[in-house]
Amino acid sequence: MDKQPLTPLAQAVQQVLADITSLTEVEQVSLDQAQGRVLSKALVSPIAVPPFANSQMDGYAGRFDELRAETFLPVRLRVPAGSSPPELPFGSLARIFTGAPIPEGADTVIMQEDMTTQEQDGQLFARPSRLPDCKGRFVRQSGADIQPGQILLGPGRRLGSADIGFLASVGVQKVDVFRQPRVAIFSTGDELVQPGGALGPGQIFDSNRPMMRTVFGQYGLSVSDLGRLPDKADATREALQRASHSHDMVLTCGGVSVGEEDHVKAAVTALGSLRLWKLAMKPGKPFAFGQINRCYFVGLPGNPVSAWVTFFLLGQLLLRRLEGETAPNLLKFTAPAGFDWPRPDPREEFLRGRLDDQGFLHIHARQDSHILSSLVESTGLIRIPGNTTVVQGDRLDFFPYRF
Ligand code: AMP
Ligand code: MG
């Protein structure tokens, strides 16, 4: 089994995303609960946005042909936002404010800084001190952003704050979203003590489970934290089986390597199917994916950096697909290396590093998979393809994870 071929990450992503059947149950939530949820059907606009032509500036609205004469015209209307003005009489102007409806007849707005005003017998007059460059200047046309009947957002989109504003702009108050996945997490290992406890000989604190609870929290999910599994085959199998009945995804950390104390993989194989094991990447080789009953299984490596990196690059995509996101992906851009990497590795590597102010990538000095400080002191993952050396200036993929 140790001779298992390693799967390249890109292939693993494709395989796993194709393998996952997204949840289909739908629920309705109010707009203020919709942030981070995944739309289950397309939303169509019932109205135009803006719903009426309105002014983009505080200024004066008039007819372009009259404004072009650059003569004083009487200001006959005053149009604040939220009002409903009458038609603008010929040969006159309207004092208008940002967001106020353009009166019938007017077609152009001149900002107040570009107008000269004077008063005569209690009547205000104004003329352009600078001509508008075209008819329609500073008029926000009705429907310029959204047309009635237009599809606003499609199914499978995870809603962000701009989306919420967009939906609010057409008066949407409730949206149909997929229900959230029920996720259970376990850590594994007889050496683990929970933070708050006291370390005995040979023991370490369990850092992965609090870390994983948090990453699911970032997706607005509350997870069932099912604690720590001992390094025992029976207990591992029983716990995984029980969790699989009431969850859509079970995630474990550790116990998926090749040692005799690694019981997770064997348990999944016995209870269901193991579809993927071992990635051709560093850190993160002992990653596992499978299914127990109708529940997906994700086995992260035990080393904390490997656990975090594999969840970031693969696990979260899988979770997002499960929740119905159509095309889950990661933010990535390329930047020149500010370092040399003379020792190629057959496995693709994801080095912890950062982007400097000049746009060059730098790697953290310590890249071992148990050094959590390398993650904390970095801002992204730098990808080095397998069997590749790097010299300064070579462009590399960078996956930012904090700013
Ligand atoms: P394993 O894959 O179980 O052999 O674990 C690999 C390494 O990660 C070992 O050094 C474990 O002690 C460590 N490890 C496993 N799980 C955790 C955890 N939840 N928190 C911190 N370290 C862990
Ligand atoms: Mg272990």
Statement to judge: residues 165 and 227 lie in one domain: no
Statement to judge: residues 114 and 61 lie in one domain: yes
Dihedral class, residue 156 (left if φ above 0, else alpha if ψ from -120 to 50, else beta): left
Ligand 1 centroid, distance to 363 Cα (angstroms): 24
Comparing CA positions, the residue from 191, 153, 164 lying closest to residue 31 is 164
Domain that holds residue 167: 35-45+145-178
What are the tokens at 189?
């290992």
Ligand 1 centroid, distance to 279 Cα (angstroms): 18
Statement to judge: residues 312 and 194 lie in one domain: yes
- Is the residue at 248 inside a domain? yes
Interior angle at CA 230, CA 229 and CA 235, nearest 5: 75
Structural domains counted in the chain? 4
Statement to judge: residues 382 and 371 lie in one domain: yes
* Measured CA distances, 258 to 236, 283, 385 (Å): 16, 16, 25
pLDDT in tens, the chain (403 residues): 457 789 999 999 999 999 999 999 999 999 999 999 999 999 999 999 999 999 999 999 999 999 999 999 999 999 999 999 999 999 999 999 999 999 999 999 999 999 999 999 999 999 999 998 999 999 999 999 999 999 999 999 999 999 999 999 999 999 999 999 999 999 999 999 999 999 999 999 999 999 999 999 999 998 999 999 999 999 999 999 999 999 999 999 999 998 999 999 999 999 999 999 999 999 999 999 999 999 999 999 999 999 999 999 999 999 999 999 999 999 999 999 999 999 999 999 999 999 999 999 999 999 999 999 999 999 999 999 999 999 999 999 999 999 8
| Residue 201 CB coordination number (10 Å) | 4
Q: Is residue 103 within 6 Å of ligand 1 at its C-beta?
A: no
Q: Is residue 382 within 6 Å of ligand 1 at its C-beta?
A: no
Tell me which of 185, 204, 368 to substitute to probe ligand 1's pocket, judged by most ligand atoms within 8 Å of the beta carbon: 204
Comparing CA positions, the residue from 66, 56, 75, 79 lying closest to residue 117 is 75
What are the tokens at 341?
């990497």
Statement to judge: residues 189 and 312 lie in one domain: yes
Q: Is residue 203 within 6 Å of ligand 1 at its C-beta?
A: no
- Is the residue at 327 inside a domain? no
Ligand 2 centroid, distance to 372 Cα (angstroms): 17
At 196-218, the pLDDT tens digits run: 999 999 999 999 999 999 999 99
Q: Is residue 310 within 6 Å of ligand 1 at its C-beta?
A: no
**pTM for this prediction:** 0.92
What does the pLDDT read at residue 222?
Answer: 87
Please list, in sequence order, all residues whose beta carbon lies within 8 angstroms of the beta carbon of residue 120, skipping any fewer than 6 positions away.
none
- Is the residue at 116 inside a domain? yes
Statement to judge: residues 185 and 317 lie in one domain: yes
Statement to judge: residues 113 and 124 lie in one domain: yes
- Taking a C-beta distance cutoff of 8 angstroms, is the pair 179, 23 a contact? yes
- Residue 316, helix vs strand vs coil: helix
At 263-287, the pLDDT tens digits run: 999 999 999 999 999 999 999 999 9
- Taking a C-beta distance cutoff of 8 angstroms, is the pair 382, 282 a contact? no
- Taking a C-beta distance cutoff of 8 angstroms, is the pair 124, 292 a contact? no
The CATH code of the domain that includes 61 is 2.170.190.11
Statement to judge: residues 104 and 214 lie in one domain: no
Q: Is residue 231 within 6 Å of ligand 1 at its C-beta?
A: no
Q: Are strands 59-62 and 273-277 parallel, antiparallel or unpaired?
A: unpaired
Distance CA 175, CA 396 (A): 40
Q: What is the CA radius of gyration of the chain?
A: 30
- Is the residue at 129 inside a domain? yes
Q: Is residue 284 within 6 Å of ligand 1 at its C-beta?
A: no
Distance CA 169, CA 293 (A): 43
The CATH code of the domain that includes 313 is 3.40.980.10
- Is the residue at 133 inside a domain? yes
- Is the residue at 1 inside a domain? no
- For 224, what's the count of Cα atoms within 13 Å in the CB-facing half-sphere? 17
- Is the residue at 3 inside a domain? no
